[in-house]
Structure 1
Amino acid sequence: MVHQRTLRLDYDKTTCAVYVVGSELIVNLNRTAPPSSTFFSVKCTPSVQYSINPPHQEASHLSPVPLIRNSTLIITMSGASQSENDNKLSVQYYKENKEVLGKAVLHLTAVEISLDVDADRDGIVEKNSPKKTSWKWGPNGHGAVLLVNCDCERIYSKKPDCEDNHISKVSDLKDMSLMVLRTKGPAKLPQGYKLSMHISQRDAESVRVFRSKSPGMATNILGTLFSVFITNYPLVLSHDTLSKEVPYLGGAEEINFYVEGLRFPDKDFDGLVTINLSLLEPISDNLPETPIFTDRVVFRVAPWIMTPNTLDPEDVFVCSTSDNYEFLKEMDNLVAESGYKLKVCHEYMNREDRWIQDEVEFGYIDSPHHSFPVVLDSPRDGALKDFPYNELLGPDFGYVTRDPQNEEVNSLESFGNLEVSPPVTVNGKEYPLGRILIGVAFPTTTTGRNMTKVIQDFLWAQKVQEPIALFSDWLCVGHVDEFMTFVPASDKKGFRLLLASPDAGYKLFRGLQKDGHGEAKQFEGLKDQKPVTVNEILSDENLQAENNYVQSCIDWNRDVLKRELGLDDDDVIDLPILFKMNKDDGYGAVAYYPDMVNMIVLGKNLGIPKPFGPRVNGCCALEAEMRSLMEGLGLKCTFIDDFASYHQLLGEVHCGSNVRRKPFDFKWWNLKL
């Protein structure tokens, strides 16, 4: 929409005004005409254009035109001025008999002013895009993208860059969004005029703006690695400075500004910020300037995005503890065979806290000009609490957390209780970045455990991976990764949902009994573990009742997942896993033998907890069943002994490992919301 400005012209007086190219000056002729005026005429220099509203039939307005109550003059100019007051327009007023009553003269200085961003998301800051003032989702959408500057350029005395109010390295600029002020006009603005950049108090909580002191610097700063003095990039706008004068350089010039996101979308922040640039006009020495033109741009802060098992790994993380040497060795072999990197969190950092899956969730942020991984730090804050900040935060590796403050933290805060599906389509609605899955208490209970509201609010506010609540409080630990996971598949669907299934477990054990293997033993060969025969398992009525309860809870989640992810029964694979009720560490279900669904997925290689199932013809029956189910998908099963170092501590392979994965190829701003 064209910017319009009301301008008052006084007869028998010369008015000087600054005109911004692309806008319109609106003059109400009747309001400022001499008394008894009934006609008027208009003259102007060639660079000035005007029209009269309502329009008149006269071919030229040099001849007197009837002046009526709502006669309006609309003034525009085609280009910037070379010098101050180099263009002119005059209006002459007449009596009924065409006698001249007075003349209003307007001297005009035209300037081009444009505050520009990458509104079409192609990595280029185009000039004066008509779409820069709003945001629209989708492949045909528009609007600039802003990253939260949550990585750290420092090696020592770490803290996220967004907590610094200065720029110490040019390399930090790539984490910010470029905004360009383009001006064209005379060498200087008329006396007293100035440009002011400003933001609202609300937006100042979410954004900061720096300026390059060197006009016309190259806009492509990627790969720049040298250090610069802080004074080369002064702070313009912040929480403490909502408005600041910015230079008008004269001629045709550009000034680069770098916009820094300070916080992610959340319950109280929709992710949208607006930055304004105003041309201010002096009134008198004793009065403040008034705005006569405002240009604005809109950014949306990039959301934090989780990555599902179907994306390729980049780094695999495992803790080294005093009792997990064999586990660590087997994991190292699996990761090396899969072609990925194993990163070990050593004992000085983990302090015997082995549950690295529970401490952090890896994700990323993305924009047209840059992207980097961001770790979400769980509020569980076990002995691993310093790991994400001290070991992960760094250049191009961001950090975010949420403080539960007065909320009670429980096991459901741990991020084994936070998963994400592969991309799905549900009733025609596409979720190209998948959907987040969290475990909560059963919907009808008021006493169960839940993930803290501050984390749930954060996840919902990202918008691009609409969360699904699953029922996980029936478990002792309470994490969704204890009964479900996803594995890749090479068919059109691209994945399968794996669910723990006591029914499938009992079916397998009954089959063994029927085939004459009732005396085959679960846990045989395990140190300090009493073997249990298939017959004993099947005759344990309490165990059967407990697994009936567990199957009912899993079936509830199965129905939710099928409905919310658009799945058919063919998309779900039931894994033979039994549970038991734990009465030692809080009432709830735990895996009876190592929980095979709690696996690590590394491309086509699966690292599965070794179940120590009944051996038939020299082979573990549970392992054989898993291979039969997975190898049909082209997946390779590697069974890892986690019994003593993880299973007996109520966790498994997935709980004791974590994977940073490659980002989606799909760009979140193309999502149809």
Structure 2
Amino acid sequence: MTTKHRVVRVSPEQPTYAVCVMGTKISVNVSGSIPKGATHFNVHGTAGLRLSIICDPKFVPESPDPSRWPLKSGVEVIVAMNGPSSNVNDNKVRVSYYGSTEEMLASAWLYLTCVAISLDADTNRDGVVQINSTNKKKWTWGPSGKGAVLLVNCDRDGPSSGNMDTAYSHVRSRADLEDMSLVILTTKGPAGIFQNHKLLLHVSVTDAPRLRVFQDGGNASLSSYQHVLGSDKLFHTVECSDGKQQTCFFVEGLAFPDVSFEGLVYLNATLWEASSQDLLDTPVFSDTVVFRVAPWIMTPNTMKPLEVFVCSVKDNEEFLEAVRTLAKEANCKLTICPLEENMNDRWIQDEIEFGYVESPHKLFPVVFDSPRNRELKEYPFKKILGPDFGYVTREPKKGSVTSLDSFGNLEVSPPVAVKGKEYPLGRILIGGGPHRSGGNKMTKVVRDFLFAQKVQSPVELFSDWLKVGHVDEFLTFVPAPDRKGFRLLLASPVACYNLFKEKQREGYGDVSLFEGLGEERRKTIDEILMNKTHYRDTIHTQGYIDWNRSILKQKLGLSEGDILDIPQLFVLGTELKADAFFPNMVNMLVLGKHLGIPKPFGPVIDGQCCLEAEVRSLLEPLGLTCTFIDDFFAYHVNNGEVHCGTNVCREPFSFHWWNIVP
């Protein structure tokens, strides 16, 4: 009969000594050394034991005498312990052997010591370590799921000039400890058992680079926290000087989930019996806790804004003042990156994306630094990384970085449901080339990272028809009080063309765009509508946006009522790539109900810009306030707008990512 229990062999020639760990059972092999003439056996144990006989009826008929069992392979003796031992070898099992005359021929003795060993973490995800938990070896998703969570300790709780905390193999501060997950190793039993047994904490070669473990030294000094596992350390011997003790460990993650790392790491505790004569030790018992490393999570426009980031450059003083006013109205902190730090690189949206990481006991924001690496490349690491503000980046090992790798090409939807499938943290949106062979894409290392996080299942859109190539040039999301809680705004060349035709019919064909921006830029409505190239570009670019509209409706579960068309013209330039003809109003800054929209400089009719009036008529019924910001010379003529020149750190979701079912 096969068994998964630890097997201990007994012999009449000498006593056998063994350790039994609480919660496990021992299978006693009574047939390994049978006295000559023995045909049956019986077994007795002391009060601290539970004995049971298991037999296979196919091989062992029902015994007329339950105290006698035939010495056949179909009989198995199972021993379990009622509680930890007070002394070494304080429980005994006696196996008595009998011949055909019922005379006892010999006895074999098994001396047992019971210990309790448990490696535990917060497997219920309630912020508390559960001792002797039974749901720690397998990680499951969903509201009823179990399994511990590990944060990548990617903030900087030490000196401001230092690296991320993951770079250091020592505890830097109390705040550093708070970013780690607590693990408790509990042992109960006589201390003497560890004279010929040892308890090891260990990780695999694969997991070692992905975590680091510190042992609590038991006093207030940070230096007492010893680095015992992870990086180049695979195992650690736990000193058990007391029969009853709890040893605390703090575990930090070193790597986010990625293409070659699912996100699961395993921490093991194994009791070994020391062997004599230089033989290998024998494993007696092992306990395991599995962690899932918390993913990096993006936040959509519908989440509350906490802090706005913008660059101060040589020519954007009025723009800065407008953003300052808007942030104040939205009760939002404003952080200005000065010229000496940005070196006249104004495109802070392209350099970084804000998100966060979360465990049941801790949450902090994390800035994702793009591989764009222009003049702003040092800013996120030197100025944003800090206490409880993490940092992550992905750099391609080979190949050039393109505009598609800037993070204006990285957005995320609000929470959606698609054909019964819930996406409570929304879906990431990235742009690239057409869905055919040879299409340009965001660099593989970034795409792999985003897909590996699992909880915001990315959607790839077609953005490479644009000169800059970013998804934020034709879409954004704004909060709404009804329907799904938001509206998707899409740039619409046809909506703009139709608006201009309507104004022409009303007799305003001679009214110009770009008034006050220089005579050479002025274009009347009539001139735009009569220009065949403008019409061609309108139809062509609308086709690209409609292609994306279809994908977004399918992948986000949207209907036409969830989408608003924002009038916007594009013109096709070199290589038939598109630029915004006037400041692109979809490329806006969303701060709650306050919107900072690029001022389009459209035709002024009855004292107001007809493009602004159209956008107000679409958005103000949703309770949104539209502020039009002049970004023409500071941003628009440089191929960007308000959204490109700003960035927002937002409040995290209240929904816990581990409750998702991917």
Following TM superposition, by how much is the alpha carbon of 1:449 offset from its aligned partner in structure 2, in angstroms? 2.8
Do the aligned residues in 2 keep the contact of 1:117 with 1:126 (CA within 8 Å)?
yes
| SS class of match (1:30) | coil
Do the aligned residues in 2 keep the contact of 1:58 with 1:65 (CA within 8 Å)?
yes
**In structure 2, which of residues 212, 218, 225 is the aligned counterpart of residue 208 of structure 1?**
212
CA distance in 2, matches of 1:327, 1:529: 23
Which stretch of the first structure deviates more once superposed, 165-174 or 143-152? Answer: 165-174
- Render the CA deviation track for 1:597-649: whole Å, top value 9, x for unaligned: 00010000100000000000111111111111100111010000000000000
TM-score by length of 1: 0.95
Following TM superposition, by how much is the alpha carbon of 1:228 offset from its aligned partner in structure 2, in angstroms? 3.3
Following TM superposition, by how much is the alpha carbon of 1:166 offset from its aligned partner in structure 2, in angstroms? 1.2
Following TM superposition, by how much is the alpha carbon of 1:383 offset from its aligned partner in structure 2, in angstroms? 0.2
Residue 68, structure 1, aligned to residue 72, structure 2? yes
Letter in 2 for 1:229: L
Structure 1 unmatched runs, 5+: 218-226
1:315: which partner in 2?
307
Residue 653, structure 1, aligned to residue 642, structure 2? yes
| SS class of match (1:612) | coil
| Structure 1 pair 306–185 and aligned structure 2 pair: CA distance change class (3 A) | same
Letter in 1 for 2:275: I
5 Å-filtered alignment, 1:526-545, equals 526-527=517-518, 530-545=521-536
Do the aligned residues in 2 keep the contact of 1:195 with 1:279 (CA within 8 Å)?
yes
Structure 2 unmatched runs, 5+: none
Following TM superposition, by how much is the alpha carbon of 1:526 offset from its aligned partner in structure 2, in angstroms? 1.5
1:467: which partner in 2?
458
- Render the CA deviation track for 1:632-671: whole Å, top value 9, x for unaligned: 1110100000000000000000000000000000000000
Following TM superposition, by how much is the alpha carbon of 1:157 offset from its aligned partner in structure 2, in angstroms? 2.9
Which stretch of the first structure deviates more once superposed, 403-412 or 498-507? Answer: 403-412
Residue 25, structure 1, aligned to residue 26, structure 2? yes
| SS class of match (1:509) | helix
| SS class of match (2:354) | strand
Do the aligned residues in 1 keep the contact of 2:120 with 2:136 (CA within 8 Å)?
yes
Following TM superposition, by how much is the alpha carbon of 1:66 offset from its aligned partner in structure 2, in angstroms? 2.7
Following TM superposition, by how much is the alpha carbon of 1:30 offset from its aligned partner in structure 2, in angstroms? 1.9
5 Å-filtered alignment, 1:92-111, equals 92-111=96-115
5 Å-filtered alignment, 1:109-508, equals 109-214=113-218, 228-230=221-223, 232-446=224-438, 448-508=439-499
Following TM superposition, by how much is the alpha carbon of 1:186 offset from its aligned partner in structure 2, in angstroms? 1.1
Letter in 2 for 1:552: G
Residue 44, structure 1, aligned to residue 49, structure 2? no
CA distance in 2, matches of 1:647, 1:176: 45
CA distance in 2, matches of 1:460, 1:261: 19
1:664: which partner in 2?
653
CA distance in 2, matches of 1:66, 1:546: 93
1:591: which partner in 2?
580
Following TM superposition, by how much is the alpha carbon of 1:71 offset from its aligned partner in structure 2, in angstroms? 2.0
- Render the CA deviation track for 1:207-245: whole Å, top value 9, x for unaligned: 11111022xx8xxxxxxxxx8332x11111113111111
Letter in 1 for 2:18: A
Do the aligned residues in 2 keep the contact of 1:199 with 1:243 (CA within 8 Å)?
yes
- Render the CA deviation track for 1:97-131: whole Å, top value 9, x for unaligned: 12333221111111000000111111111112111
1:221: which partner in 2?
none
1:220: which partner in 2?
none
| Structure 1 pair 60–77 and aligned structure 2 pair: CA distance change class (3 A) | farther
Following TM superposition, by how much is the alpha carbon of 1:288 offset from its aligned partner in structure 2, in angstroms? 2.4
| SS class of match (2:271) | strand
2:508: which partner in 1?
517
- Render the CA deviation track for 1:442-471: whole Å, top value 9, x for unaligned: 11251x432001100000000000000000
1:551: which partner in 2?
542
| SS class of match (1:162) | helix
TM-score by length of 2: 0.97
| Structure 1 pair 190–500 and aligned structure 2 pair: CA distance change class (3 A) | closer
Do the aligned residues in 1 keep the contact of 2:434 with 2:440 (CA within 8 Å)?
no
CA distance in 1, matches of 2:244, 2:227: 24
Following TM superposition, by how much is the alpha carbon of 1:10 offset from its aligned partner in structure 2, in angstroms? 1.7
Following TM superposition, by how much is the alpha carbon of 1:68 offset from its aligned partner in structure 2, in angstroms? 2.1
Following TM superposition, by how much is the alpha carbon of 1:587 offset from its aligned partner in structure 2, in angstroms? 4.9
| Structure 1 pair 120–576 and aligned structure 2 pair: CA distance change class (3 A) | same
1:5: which partner in 2?
6
1:222: which partner in 2?
none
CA distance in 2, matches of 1:616, 1:285: 99
- Render the CA deviation track for 1:415-460: whole Å, top value 9, x for unaligned: 00000000000001000000000001011251x4320011000000
Query: In angstroms, what is the RMSD of aligned CA positions?
Result: 1.6
| Structure 1 pair 38–410 and aligned structure 2 pair: CA distance change class (3 A) | same
CA distance in 2, matches of 1:186, 1:360: 56
Do the aligned residues in 2 keep the contact of 1:359 with 1:378 (CA within 8 Å)?
yes
Percent identity over the alignment is: 52
Do the aligned residues in 2 keep the contact of 1:13 with 1:103 (CA within 8 Å)?
no
- Render the CA deviation track for 1:269-328: whole Å, top value 9, x for unaligned: 000111111000022141121111011111000000000000000000000001000000
| Structure 1 pair 338–189 and aligned structure 2 pair: CA distance change class (3 A) | same
- Render the CA deviation track for 1:533-558: whole Å, top value 9, x for unaligned: 11111111111111211000000000
Letter in 2 for 1:398: G
Following TM superposition, by how much is the alpha carbon of 1:376 offset from its aligned partner in structure 2, in angstroms? 0.6
Do the aligned residues in 2 keep the contact of 1:362 with 1:375 (CA within 8 Å)?
yes
Letter in 2 for 1:264: F
| Structure 1 pair 574–189 and aligned structure 2 pair: CA distance change class (3 A) | same
**In structure 2, which of residues 627, 634, 640 is the aligned counterpart of residue 638 of structure 1?**
627
CA distance in 1, matches of 2:35, 2:450: 65
CA distance in 2, matches of 1:511, 1:492: 30
Do the aligned residues in 1 keep the contact of 2:194 with 2:240 (CA within 8 Å)?
no
Following TM superposition, by how much is the alpha carbon of 1:60 offset from its aligned partner in structure 2, in angstroms? 8.6
| SS class of match (1:283) | coil
- Render the CA deviation track for 1:485-517: whole Å, top value 9, x for unaligned: 000001141000000000000011111111011
CA distance in 1, matches of 2:171, 2:146: 29
Following TM superposition, by how much is the alpha carbon of 1:173 offset from its aligned partner in structure 2, in angstroms? 1.1
